[in-house]
Amino acid sequence: MSIMLYSAQAGGFYDREIHGDAIPADAIEITRDEHTALLTGQSAGQRIEADEHGHPVLRDAPAPDDNALADAARARRDALIAATDYLLMPDYPVSAGQLAEVRAYRQALRDLPLQPAFPQAIDWPALPAGYVADEAAAQASAI
């Protein structure tokens, strides 16, 4: 079983065959299996951190704070608004009633931060029936 090295100070992994003498002095040995398990955990959303002895361990990432949640919600909202921009073009074939629905939807999106539980719980408005949002909205709603 080959050996990898982990440096708590650098927060990174090293391989003697690749890095040679360019390995931090605090690096400790770990097995390839440990390295693989750590990377697998990181891929699943955990964080690799050093324990009190400098050994790498997996820890759950902290829950996002309200600022991060609000930033993500605003980014999604902005993408959803942008996805309906084409509906407001002067040459787009839409009736006055349909235009009012689209404008109400866009206003509801702009008003999301006014909801009492924002950003912890958001009641996202639905796109009015019969409209198709573009690809940006489809990607934004996956956030």
For residue range 48-101, what is the model confidence (pLDDT) as tens digits?
999 999 999 999 988 999 999 999 999 999 999 999 999 899 998 888 999 999
**What pLDDT, on a 0 to 100 scale, did the predictor assign at position 142?**
47
Mean confidence (pLDDT) of the chain:
90
67 φ, ψ to 5°? -65, -45
User: What is the model's pTM?
Assistant: 0.59
Mean pLDDT of 14-33: 93
Alpha-carbon distance 73 to 118, whole Å?
9
pLDDT band at 129 (very low <50, low <70, confident <90, very high): confident
pLDDT band at 133 (very low <50, low <70, confident <90, very high): low
For residue 138, pLDDT over 60 is answered with no
Task: Provide the b/e sequence for 40-66 (b: ≥16 CB within 10 Å).
Answer: ebeeeeeebebeeeeebebeeeeeeee
CB burial class (10 A; 0-12, 13-18, 19+) of residue 87? buried
pLDDT band at 134 (very low <50, low <70, confident <90, very high): low
